[in-house]
Chain A
Amino acid sequence: MKKFFTILITKFLRIIGKLVGKGSSLPGKIALKLCPDILSRVKLPPYIIAVTGSNGKTSTVEMIAHLLTENGKTVAWNKEGSNQIEGVTTLVLSKSTLGGRVKSDILLIESDERFARYTFRYITPTHYVITNLYRDQLTRNGHPEWVYDALADSISDKMQLILNADDPLVSLFGYERDNVLWFGADKLSTDTAYNDSVYDDGAYCPHCKKPMTYSTRHYNHIGHYACPSCGYHRHATDYTVTSVDLEKGKMVINGKDTIDLALRSLYNMYNLLAAYTVGSIVGLDGADMAHNLKEYVLKNGRIVSFTIGQRPGTLLVSKHENSVSYDQSIRIATANQHGCDVLIIVDAVSRKYFTSDVSWLWDIDFEKLLNDNVHEIVLAGTYCNDLAVRFSYTDIPQENIKVFRKIEDAYQYLDNDRQEYIYAITCFSDKGKFLSLVKGGSIG
């Protein structure tokens, strides 16, 4: 009876919550108070697919859900991205019958990295995708190895791991383990032989801590690595991006399935590859998936079109405290051959907690904005001076950089006759302040 009432109350709270526009974690929180082991009392579908990692979780999960749904599967997934145990509990119970059975073919869970060990104490994923481990929210997460240790606590022997072979730290989860499927990219035309970022988390072997070598680098520490000392090396892949052409916007998986890209970035490539991998495991056809994913535009609001006066632009929602996320946006801006101006806003570092730490600005490859395609750079927000200091350590001419404390002033400035396309780069925490000023704000 306890189970019945807990599910009933959760469903009721979820409906009320949706009506008043509240987040999806509160019903689960209350359910866990009423019945702490409720998740282990519910009968779950045969496929429980979990996705975690520093970057790309939400996008990957959305693409997997899209693929599965398009191919006739029913999927229960945490669309709102509430990815800690409370949000997952809300998801499971609201998709469950009152008798305690989740009716969908597949339960698809996006999980926070640090809290996965709590969630998966009650739910054991049958398939566990780990996308990457980057420097992300270090003011809370400590560092990638700290997150690695926390994630290791969430993995059990029974799970089928699905790992990014190109990430040496993620791949360590699969070291001397049998039930692992690997995804990754062959040497790409955009690769570099050496690390060209301001820091290098691939300099030393995560297994033995001796210097590691790369035969090719896709970006940062992502690439084909090998440790000459202990022999740890990139694993051969089961699902592989065999070629990618970012200019034409095409990627090929396993040498046969071509996907047309809506967002032309290597990061998007990995999300698509991870989704394709999961789809294949569930039994979907590669050609069908390539068709389903063709020019797929994410609906999670990470890419937003706008205009300022007569000037069109795109908001590239990036994550503060996450240099790889910024690097991704910088690559998109520098690829615009018609020329662009770039606005960067750092006003509140986080929407969830307070910090004034901006050390992460020094891990971002702002140097790469020294590019013929990038003309003017506008810095705004409470931490505009910290941004200006960071930019003063690049070779970008100071006269090309404008600094405004108020976002409104930056907006007024950008409402000018310049012909350049505008890229606005900022975080969830600050995007609303910008979108409230501009026209448009449509996704896509």
Chain B
Amino acid sequence: MKLLHLYHDIMNLYGDYANISALTRIFGNSSIDCTVDKRSLADEVDLRPYDFIYIGSGTEKNRNVVMADMQKYKEALREKRDSGTPILLTGNAFEMLGQSVTDAAGTAHEGLGLYDFTVTEQNKTRTTSDAILTASFSDKPLVGFINKCSEIEGIHSPLFTVQMGLGNNSHDKYEGLHDHCLFGTHLTGPVLIKNPHFLIYLAQQIAGEKASISVEYLTYENAAYQISLHELQQRKESTTVH
């Protein structure tokens, strides 16, 4: 498998790099050949050979620098998505795929235009929350943390339903973006470490249905997930007004 970690150094704000570590390990333990290419701003990459593309979260300024740089991949990325290549974007990375990002000063930055949605940011209040999210592709919910300052309007195919946490905007209980095998979510950091079931699902998507994926080693990961889910559910119940 050829994995591409794009903007690995500038879009790595919440330990996002660990998602690539998790995939490398699961393929290693499954005896599936796996190479990782880390590329960033100065590089010009041919996306076509890759079986998986990942981008993590960045500061708003860094994300805008990356978004301008990514214009060169616009068509190639569209082709990868349409051909069903798994793509994972965590934190504010998927915000780049819309029409525009309007920053706190009111300046609109051009998006990649793969989708019709628009993003509006402010710089007064950080919008953060622990999260429990459910998805059609998973029988178990995902847990994690959302850390953003934006509202997104116009996403028609979200990834998750929010059980606890934040939606794409303040009046929406749907989170993220899902299209073909592209997964965009505001969940930050090591999403694949925190959610071993999502790691297994994604590894299967990358390696193909017939691949045999080893899952036995995920003992601590599963225990950590169960405890986090329990803690969050308890928190959700204690803060829900009956």
A residues in contact (CB < 8 Å) with B: 135, 138-146, 149, 198-200, 203-204, 209, 211, 354-363, 382-383, 385-386, 388-389, 392-393, 403
Residue of B nearest to A393 (CB): B21
Residue of A nearest to B123 (CB): A149
Contact with A along B186-226 (1 / 0, CB 8 A): 00111001100000000000000000000000001101100
Chain B residues closer than 8 Å to A139, beta-carbon distance:
128, 145, 147
Total cross-chain contacts (CB, 8 A):
98
Report which residue of A145, A203, A358, A389 has the largest number of chain B beta carbons within 10 angstroms of its beta carbon.
Answer: A389
B65-109 contacts to A (CB < 8 Å): 65
Check B17 against A198 for contact (C-beta < 8 Å).
yes
Check A204 against B10 for contact (C-beta < 8 Å).
yes
Check B223 against A385 for contact (C-beta < 8 Å).
yes
B residues in contact (CB < 8 Å) with A: 9-10, 12-15, 17-18, 21, 25, 41-42, 59-62, 65, 123, 126, 128, 130, 143-145, 147, 149, 188-190, 193-194, 220-221, 223-224, 227-228, 231-232, 235
Shortest beta-carbon distance, A155 to chain B, in Å? 16
Report which residue of A203, A356, A383 has the largest number of chain B beta carbons within 10 angstroms of its beta carbon.
Answer: A356
Q: Please tell me which one of the listed residues A142, A356, A385 contacts residue B126 in the complex, with CB atoms under 8 A apart.
A: A142
Chain B residues closer than 8 Å to A203, beta-carbon distance:
9-10
* Cα of A390 to Cα of B212 in the assembled complex, Å: 25
* Cα of A389 to Cα of B128 in the assembled complex, Å: 25
Check A356 against B188 for contact (C-beta < 8 Å).
no
Residue of A nearest to B13 (CB): A143
Q: List 5 A-B contacts (CB under 8 A).
A: A146-B126, A356-B231, A386-B224, A392-B220, A393-B21
Chain B residues closer than 8 Å to A386, beta-carbon distance:
220, 224, 228
* Cα of A140 to Cα of B224 in the assembled complex, Å: 22
* Cα of A392 to Cα of B220 in the assembled complex, Å: 9
* Cα of A140 to Cα of B126 in the assembled complex, Å: 7
Q: Please tell me which one of the listed residues B9, B15, B123, B235 contacts residue A361 in the complex, with CB atoms under 8 A apart.
A: B15
Shortest beta-carbon distance, A169 to chain B, in Å? 10
Chain B residues closer than 8 Å to A143, beta-carbon distance:
13, 59
* Cα of A117 to Cα of B73 in the assembled complex, Å: 41
Shortest beta-carbon distance, B126 to chain A, in Å? 4
Chain B residues closer than 8 Å to A144, beta-carbon distance:
59
Check B128 against A140 for contact (C-beta < 8 Å).
yes
Chain A residues closer than 8 Å to B193, beta-carbon distance:
362, 389
Check A146 against B145 for contact (C-beta < 8 Å).
no
Check B15 against A359 for contact (C-beta < 8 Å).
yes
* Cα of A3 to Cα of B9 in the assembled complex, Å: 53
Check B14 against A356 for contact (C-beta < 8 Å).
no
Chain A residues closer than 8 Å to B220, beta-carbon distance:
385-386, 388-389, 392, 403
* Cα of A232 to Cα of B189 in the assembled complex, Å: 30
Shortest beta-carbon distance, B27 to chain A, in Å? 15
* Cα of A17 to Cα of B123 in the assembled complex, Å: 36
Q: Which 9 A-B pairs have the closest CB atoms?
A: A362-B15, A359-B189, A385-B224, A357-B145, A385-B223, A142-B126, A388-B220, A359-B15, A145-B59
With A382-B231, A389-B220 already in contact, the answer to whether A362 and B59 are too (CB < 8 A) is no
Shortest beta-carbon distance, B10 to chain A, in Å? 6
Check B59 against A382 for contact (C-beta < 8 Å).
no
Shortest beta-carbon distance, B64 to chain A, in Å? 9
Check A383 against B59 for contact (C-beta < 8 Å).
no
Check B59 against A146 for contact (C-beta < 8 Å).
yes
Chain A residues closer than 8 Å to B227, beta-carbon distance:
382-383, 385
Check B62 against A355 for contact (C-beta < 8 Å).
no
Check B223 against A354 for contact (C-beta < 8 Å).
no
Q: Please tell me which one of the listed residues A200, A356, A362, A385 contacts residue B9 in the complex, with CB atoms under 8 A apart.
A: A200
Check B123 against A357 for contact (C-beta < 8 Å).
no
Shortest beta-carbon distance, A433 to chain B, in Å? 16
Q: Please tell me which one of the listed residues B13, B18, B130 contacts residue A393 in the complex, with CB atoms under 8 A apart.
A: B18
Chain B residues closer than 8 Å to A138, beta-carbon distance:
13-14, 147
Check B62 against A211 for contact (C-beta < 8 Å).
no
Chain B residues closer than 8 Å to A200, beta-carbon distance:
9
